[in-house]
């Protein structure tokens, strides 16, 4: 690796895989960890201190559902004491009254609240949890009452893509400062459910028009971030800002990875915090260095003028579709197998027409059990 190695500035901490919802689009691995494999409070606090020493400026506290950790306030306070910005990524279901305010008092900076649908029936069907929509609305109210900024996160797929206008109005009604229209990325449980989740191209194109119009209309009122769907893209996104370039994630058991789906690259071995320090893993881990920078790239990436824009795109997507984590991301129009993305879309839609997966009856719901990911 010849490129200058900079310190990381961001970290995703998956505190637990436990969750009251069973969303079929979840990016967690299909082999979910039980509570007895989670790092304890003191180990997380030690890890967070090392992250701050390493240069991390913001930590996204995620899961599963991070509020199922009884020590969440203590973890937030530990990060706040080091001046690290904290963002809680939550499903907003089952949070006790007063908990949000307690987290704010501990130093929490921001809440990102996910909605499976803009309508109650959709939220409850996708999350497989009755009454969850109203609980989310109440959580949003408590976030605002605690004086915390709010982001509404809308994971988009075939079963809610027509609700994008309603998501925009929902976020406005809740006083959200930001709305994230996040088209589902196909890893983990989402990859298992790809045929049941994939939208058609016409719906995606309508979505883009709606989002662009809303961005213009709501400029200065609410920010709308749009995560484009890779399968419909011309060029790939820089995954996590580029493989091990400025961010990393930690799984509930302390395994440190460049991104949430990196475990799908079976040829790499990822190290656990405690066996080595964060600094050693960030700097010296063979897995972190495997696709860092541009030296690993094959053609056409190696000579492409976008190589330091998208940093090769998603290595996990290359693994899932091309069977080679070093291949050009198939989302890129320059990939020799780019056409395979369109074929996968058509295959998914054909399967949906054949087996009825235009409704939710074919979902493989997220549960603590082993499910083999397709290749």
Which parts are annotated binding residues? Answer: 19, 23, 26
Rounded CA-CA distance 261/258 in Å is: 9
d(C-alpha 262, C-alpha 268), whole Å: 9
Structure tokens at 293: 């920078």
CA of 61: how far to CAs of 30, 42, 67, 147, in Å?
Answer: 20, 16, 9, 19
Q: Which two tokens stand for residue 326?
A: 């070093």
Which segments are annotated as binding site for [4Fe-4S] cluster?
19, 23, 26
Per DSSP, the three-state class of 318 is helix
Q: How far apart (Å, rounded) are the C-alpha atoms in residues 228 and 156?
A: 10
Query: Tokens at residue 298, please?
Result: 């094959």
Q: Which residue bears the tokens 């206008």?
A: 165
Query: Tokens in use for 50?
Result: 């090392």
Cβ(48)–Cβ(75) below 8 Å: yes
Residue 141 to residue 309: CA distance in whole angstroms: 39
CB environment 202-230: b (16+ within 10 A), e (fewer)? ebbebbbebbeebbeeeeeebebebbbbb
Q: Report the chain's C-alpha Rg in angstroms.
A: 20
Report the b/e string of 22-44 with b at 16+ CB within 10 A.
Answer: bbbbbbbbbebbeeeebbeeeeb
CA neighbor of 319 nearest in space, from 362, 365, 259: 259
DSSP-assigned letter for residue 141: H
- C-beta of residue 113 within 8 angstroms of C-beta of residue 107: no
- Which secondary structure element, helix H or strand E, spans residue 170, and what is its range? helix 164-173
């Amino acid at each position: 690796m010849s490129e200058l190695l900079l310190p990381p500035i961001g970290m995703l901490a998956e505190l637990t895989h436990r969750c009251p919802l069973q969303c079929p689009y979840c990016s967690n691995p299909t082999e979910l960890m039980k509570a007895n494999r989670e790092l304890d409070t003191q180990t997380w606090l030690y890890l967070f201190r090392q992250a701050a020493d390493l240069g991390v400026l913001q930590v996204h506290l995620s899961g599963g559902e991070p509020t199922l950790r009884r020590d969440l306030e203590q973890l937030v306070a530990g990060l706040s004491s080091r001046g690290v910005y904290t963002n809680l990524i939550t499903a907003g279901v089952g949070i006790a009254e007063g908990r949000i305010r307690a987290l704010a008092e501990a130093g929490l900076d921001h809440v990102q609240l996910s909605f499976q649908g803009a309508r109650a029936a959709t939220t409850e069907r996708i999350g497989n949890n009755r009454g969850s929509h109203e609980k989310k609305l109440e959580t949003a109210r408590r976030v605002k009452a605690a004086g915390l900024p709010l982001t509404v996160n809308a994971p988009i797929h075939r079963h809610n893509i027509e609700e994008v206008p309603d998501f925009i109005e929902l976020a406005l009604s809740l006083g959200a400062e930001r709305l994230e229209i996040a088209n589902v990325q196909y890893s983990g449980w989402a990859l298992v459910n790809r045929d049941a989740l994939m939208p058609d191209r016409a719906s995606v194109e309508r979505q883009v028009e709606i989002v662009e119009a809303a961005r213009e209309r709501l400029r200065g009122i609410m920010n709308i971030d749009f995560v484009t769907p890779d399968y419909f893209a011309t060029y790939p996104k820089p995954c996590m800002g580029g493989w091990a370039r400025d961010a990393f994630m930690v799984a509930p058991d302390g395994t440190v990875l460049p991104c949430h789906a990196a475990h799908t690259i079976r040829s790499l071995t990822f190290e656990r915090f405690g066996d080595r320090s964060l600094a050693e893993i960030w700097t010296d881990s063979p897995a972190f260095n495997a696709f860092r920078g541009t030296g690993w790239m094959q053609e056409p990436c190696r000579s492409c003028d976008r190589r330091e824009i998208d940093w090769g795109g998603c290595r996990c997507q290359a693994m899932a579709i091309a069977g080679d984590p070093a291949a050009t991301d198939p989302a890129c129009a320059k990939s020799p197998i780019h056409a395979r993305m369109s074929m996968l879309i058509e295959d998914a839609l054909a399967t949906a027409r054949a087996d009825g997966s235009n409704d939710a009856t074919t979902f493989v719901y997220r549960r603590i059990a082993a499910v083999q990911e397709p290749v």
